[in-house]
Chains A and B, each alone.
Chain A
Amino acid sequence: AQKITQTQPGMFVQEKEAVTLDCTYDTSDPSYGLFWYKQPSSGEMIFLIYQGSYDQQNATEGRYSLNFQKARKSANLVISASQLGDSAMYFCAMREGGNQAGTALIFGKGTTLSVSS
């Protein structure tokens, strides 16, 4: 079974609008971290935001926020006021803790976001 599921292969949004990119995860480990990365067409992986499993509040970083619903095992990325430069592939990822062998950053298959003017 997939540990990270991103169900939206592609999303389209107009400039200045907000957009939500979906991510669900599967783990039985009580300690884990959830991450979002952005990959523009140039190829580099850019870290956006992190949410720990024990964090009480949803993480926010500038225009990025993470809608963390632990019971539903979802960690959706919300981008407010989209900009043309937000057009990229977005990856949700998870690291499980409490197990020395389970430190891999497991990625979803990504969502391509296209922002139009």
Chain B
Amino acid sequence: EAQVTQNPRYLITVTGKKLTVTCSQNMNHEYMSWYRQDPGLGLRQIYYSMNVEVTDKGDVPEGYKVSRKEKRNFPLILESPSPNQTSLYFCASGQQINSPLHFGNGTRLTVT
């Protein structure tokens, strides 16, 4: 089954404790992206990747890191999480520019 898999689904952590949210897709998509969703703000792009070893900042990259060592994986790293990073995070992948993005099921992160 074609899918984007994110883990974990829920995560509660404390300020400053490094964490990684994993994302994997099995559709051989070149394009992958991370979004955060906050009430009243919709979804905002954090980072994206056009292909292996190619990553770029989105609209809200501060406090986040990503890597794309393999085509299928695109982890999101929070080196020192802060409470303002409490949010619902989505990983997505897609092929050409005008094709729909496929989303993972989301990761609800709470930083206390």
Q: Which A residues are within 8 Å of any B CB, using their own CB?
A: 31-33, 35, 37, 43-45, 47, 50, 52, 91, 95-97, 100-101, 103-110
Contact = CB atoms under 8 A, between A and B. Distances in A.
B97 A43 contact: no
B97 A95 contact: yes
B102 A47 contact: yes
A101 B59 CA distance: 12
Which bucket holds chain B's interface residue count?
20 to 34
19 contacts: A32-B98, A33-B98, A33-B99, A37-B103, A43-B88, A43-B106, A44-B103, A45-B90, A50-B99, A52-B98, A91-B42, A95-B97, A97-B98, A103-B31, A104-B48, A104-B59, A105-B45, A109-B40, A110-B42
Contacts of A31: 97-98
Pairs of residues from A and B, 3 with the lowest C-beta to C-beta distance, nearest first? A33-B98, A45-B103, A109-B42
B33 interface: yes
A110 B32 CA distance: 22
Contact of A100 (B35, B50, B100): B50
A35 B35 CA distance: 16
A110 B45 CA distance: 15
B9 to A, nearest CB: 9
B62 interface: no
Given A43-B105, A109-B41, A101 B56 contact: yes
